[in-house]
A and B are shown apart, each in its own frame.
Chain A
Amino acid sequence: MLKLPIYLDNNATTPMDPRVLEAMLPYFVEHFGNAASRNHPFGWEAEEAVDYAREQVAKLIGADPKEIIFTSGATEADNLAIKGVFEMYANKGNHIITCVTEHKAVLDTCKHIEKQGGEVTYLPVKPDGLIDLHELEAAIKPTTVLISIMYANNEVGVIQPVKEISAIAKKHGVLFFTDATQAVGKIPVDVLKDGIDLLAFSAHKMYGPKGVGALYVRRKNPRVKVTAQMDGGGHERGMRSGTLNVPGIVGLGKACELCRLEMEQDTKHIKALRDKLENALLQVEESYLNGHKDHRLPHVSNISFKYVEGEGLMMGFNKNIALSSGSACTSASLEPSYVLKALGLGDDLAHSSLRFGLGRFTTEEQIDYTIEQVTNTVNKLREMSPLWEMFKEGIDLNTIEWAHH
């Protein structure tokens, strides 16, 4: 029996894997110690648990455990990486290169840097969502200290050419930071092979708990340092003060371990379902896939259904299916998705988009139900859409003088 509602918003957050919860539970009541308490068994237990988690985390991304800084999540890790590098390398320069489809945690941090006297270049993306490597290289100046390009995008799932980006950064002696929140645990990420200097991610996008994440900071070739953004007891090699969130960190560690061991199996399962969903929905007339078809995360599909509006569309099934839309009506800003617009989509197509984010626990039955519900609602709303009627009559909507408001 199909249980409703169905969760297809795994890019926003994932449900916690019960095995992660199980690993965390002893660290609330029983082993509650402070990992910084060096002089008694309570502290030793906590420290041991954190060390173990650090190894689990490091192993997933091919890092050394000493290179892992625990944070409260990816937003904090993004802030620490960008602001920390900007401050630490102020003698070398003040220029940062990023891109327009980054998460707000990166973009707004860069805006902050600009207010502090920094200079930021925001690279555009091509219609497939990828940055142009020539433009990246051309943007590098003698004052450039950091390139900050996300591993994979949260809205369309497009995977940037990380290896090529890091090669360019290395060639010019610039550090490379990547917000890998959507990628870590989903696809193979290896900081050595990928040539990454700093990398941010969080637990709750990979079946771990909310409120915990990590920043990888390279220790060798080159040795990277960031200025702490939180002052205090000097935890995490002085880069991030604050008592460690032991249960959260244990959960992050366990989540990383599960992702590492089960990635192949998870991907096979999820990708098959994603492809089934996507192929069925692209059969709907005037539906368009957003983002590069191949350079893309295996669990994400972002589709625009022309001539219907995203929020209106979701209303047809959002009691039973949870997903996201790029429609302005779903955001407080009344602007459609800046990511889709950066890909060159018109506002009309951006308003008409749905993002499907599948996960470890998605079933075929759920996908079949979703295909049916979404297709029916699109058809129903098109019967109600004046734009669909005009399209069917062969009227070019661009020739109409709309009353913009």
Chain B
Amino acid sequence: MAYSEKVIDHYNNPKNVGTLDKGQKNVGTGLVGAPECGDVMRLQIEVDETTGVIKDAKFKTFGCGSAIASSSLATEWLKGKSVDEALKIDNMEIVEELNLPPVKIHCSVLAEDAIKAAINDYRKKNGLEELVFEERIH
């Protein structure tokens, strides 16, 4: 299967690979997927506490090229967005941007789930109620 140019570019030059200090109150961490399924994503956001804007985002991903590209793209999109705006990122936008084939849609779903998990972790740390999301089958 041939990968799209954008997937290849993110794979070769991934944006925002790394780790944020999960001990910080303004850092939210989302870890989704499972090793047995062949993909695990960890996505982290660092929120500016005065403005509520995501000032940094990092990821680490175990998975195929599309999973790596989806999480790399997600961190790019998260930076500069408010937490509420970040919640609106839909997996299909990732699919369109990266030109993912149907068999790789689950990579984008995983990225969306990682964003939501990171936001919930941030909310929990800051005494906010965790949001409930619709169950999805990947």
Chain A residues with a Cβ under 8 A of chain B: 307-309, 311-312, 315-316, 327-329, 332, 334, 336, 346-348, 351, 383-389, 397, 400, 402-405
Q: Top 10 closest A-B pairs, CB basis?
A: A402-B34, A347-B36, A348-B35, A386-B42, A405-B138, A315-B65, A386-B60, A311-B64, A351-B38, A329-B64
**Which among B11-19, B46-54, B76-84, B86-94 touches the partner chain?**
B11-19
Bound-state Cα–Cα, A83 to B138, Å:
39
A386 and B40 in contact, given A348-B35, A402-B35 (Cβ under 8 angstroms)? yes
A311 and B60 in contact, given A347-B36, A386-B40, A405-B34 (Cβ under 8 angstroms)? no
Check if A403 sits within 8 Å of B38, measured CB to CB. Answer: no
CB neighbours of B40 from chain A (8 A): 386-387, 402
Bound-state Cα–Cα, A387 to B14, Å:
17
Check if B14 sits within 8 Å of A384, measured CB to CB. Answer: yes
CB neighbours of B31 from chain A (8 A): 386, 400
Bound-state Cα–Cα, A186 to B35, Å:
36
Does residue B68 face the partner (Cβ distance < 8 Å to A)? yes
Check if B68 sits within 8 Å of A384, measured CB to CB. Answer: yes
Closest to A319 in B: B8
Check if B35 sits within 8 Å of A336, measured CB to CB. Answer: no
> B51-70: contact bitstring with A at CB < 8 Å (1 yes, 0 no)?
00000000011111101100
Check if B34 sits within 8 Å of A404, measured CB to CB. Answer: yes
Closest to B29 in A: A386
Check if B14 sits within 8 Å of A405, measured CB to CB. Answer: no
Check if A346 sits within 8 Å of B36, measured CB to CB. Answer: yes
Check if B34 sits within 8 Å of A309, measured CB to CB. Answer: no
Check if A402 sits within 8 Å of B64, measured CB to CB. Answer: no
Instruction: Out of B3, B8, B61, B103, name the residue touching A386 (CB < 8 Å).
Output: B61
Bound-state Cα–Cα, A119 to B34, Å:
37
**How far is the CB of B2 from the nearest CB of chain A, in Å?**
10
CB neighbours of A397 from chain B (8 A): 35
Bound-state Cα–Cα, A405 to B67, Å:
14
Does residue B132 face the partner (Cβ distance < 8 Å to A)? no
CB neighbours of A311 from chain B (8 A): 38, 64-65
Does residue B106 face the partner (Cβ distance < 8 Å to A)? yes
Check if B34 sits within 8 Å of A336, measured CB to CB. Answer: no
Check if B60 sits within 8 Å of A385, measured CB to CB. Answer: yes
Check if B17 sits within 8 Å of A383, measured CB to CB. Answer: yes
CB neighbours of A328 from chain B (8 A): 38
Instruction: Out of B42, B60, B64, B103, name the residue touching A327 (CB < 8 Å).
Output: B64
